[in-house]
Amino acid sequence: MKRRKLIMKMTKIVYRSFMNKDNNLFDKPFRRLAELELEKERQDFLKDYIDFIMHSDIVAETTKIYIRSPFDSVASSIADYNRTLPEGIKSINIKTAESNCNNNTNKLLEYFPDDMLYSVIYSKNCDLEHYNKLLDLAIAKRCKKNKIFNNLILKLPTDVELQDSLDEDEFSDFVKIIAPYLRTHIKYLEENISCKAVGYLFYLISTRQLYGIDKDRYNLLKEMLK
């Protein structure tokens, strides 16, 4: 197996050690990892990692089937899954599943080093603090349960490092910047905006010849809405 595929291989091992077929976490590892007697901090990281993988959108559902499967190859995993489908349910295309898994492996590598899980499990001196920060950032970016991001219309940069502190002035400035772009704020404005002002807006954009202050206001709006 190519080194580049290590993270997916180790993800399968972590899954089989910490989760059941319904994606519920065990308190302690089973199978291979149980024999290693890992420190609690490492166990907690691995549990948080696999919980994130299986309950977020970072990998496709076909890749999750592969992760849950005892088979080493995507083709064997999907073929076995297809055999269990009820009659009339469309089977998963194996080539599509293989492509998804390759793409998802590359996606994981955008967030985590390829040897991260191997290091957490087997290395005596792994940088667990760094790996926890990487996981926190991935969760912040990808987790569907993050209501703050779901409520924000403004597109935020994603190529950032986690900052564990921010002074009060910077935080206040940030809140002021994003506040107008919250969906709840937009909804409030939609429900409370002046109908008289909106009517005037329609007048400005529908009238072919404007003069004086009306023309100035139209040009101002035109510049704002470029």
35-69 tens-digit pLDDT:
898 999 999 999 999 999 999 989 999 999 999 99
Distances (CA, A) of 65 to 53, 70, 76, 88, 116: 12, 10, 11, 20, 22
Partners of 152 in beta bridges: 182
Is the pLDDT score of 157 beyond 90? no
Which distant-in-sequence residues (6+ apart) come within 8 Å of 190 by Cβ?
A: none
Is the pLDDT score of 143 beyond 70? no
Compute the half-sphere exposure of residue 48: CA atoms within 13 Å on the CB side of its CA: 17
Q: What is the C-alpha to C-alpha distance for residues 177 and 70, in angstroms, rounded to an integer?
A: 49
Is the pLDDT score of 141 beyond 80? no
Q: Nearest 5°: phi and psi at 33?
A: -75, -20
Whole-model pTM: value is 0.71
Q: What is the C-alpha to C-alpha distance for residues 37 and 33, in angstroms, rounded to an integer?
A: 7
76-130 tens-digit pLDDT:
999 999 999 988 889 999 999 999 999 999 999 999 999 999 999 999 889 999 9
Q: What is the C-alpha to C-alpha distance for residues 117 and 50, in angstroms, rounded to an integer?
A: 10
Spell out where the chain has E strands.
Answer: none
The predicted pLDDT at position 168 comes to 93
Question: What rounded mean pLDDT belongs to the chain?
Answer: 89
Mean pLDDT of 166-185: 90
The predicted pLDDT at position 170 comes to 92
Q: What is the C-alpha to C-alpha distance for residues 104 and 10, in angstroms, rounded to an integer?
A: 14
- Could you tell me the residue ranges of all domains in the chain? 6-142, 168-225
Mean pLDDT of 3-29: 88
Mean pLDDT of 130-158: 79
Burial status of residue 217 (CB atoms within 10 A of its CB: 0-12, 13-18, 19 or more): middle
Q: What is the C-alpha to C-alpha distance for residues 210 and 217, in angstroms, rounded to an integer?
A: 10
Which distant-in-sequence residues (6+ apart) come within 8 Å of 34 by Cβ?
A: 17, 28
Of the chain, the percentage scoring pLDDT greater than 70 comes to 96
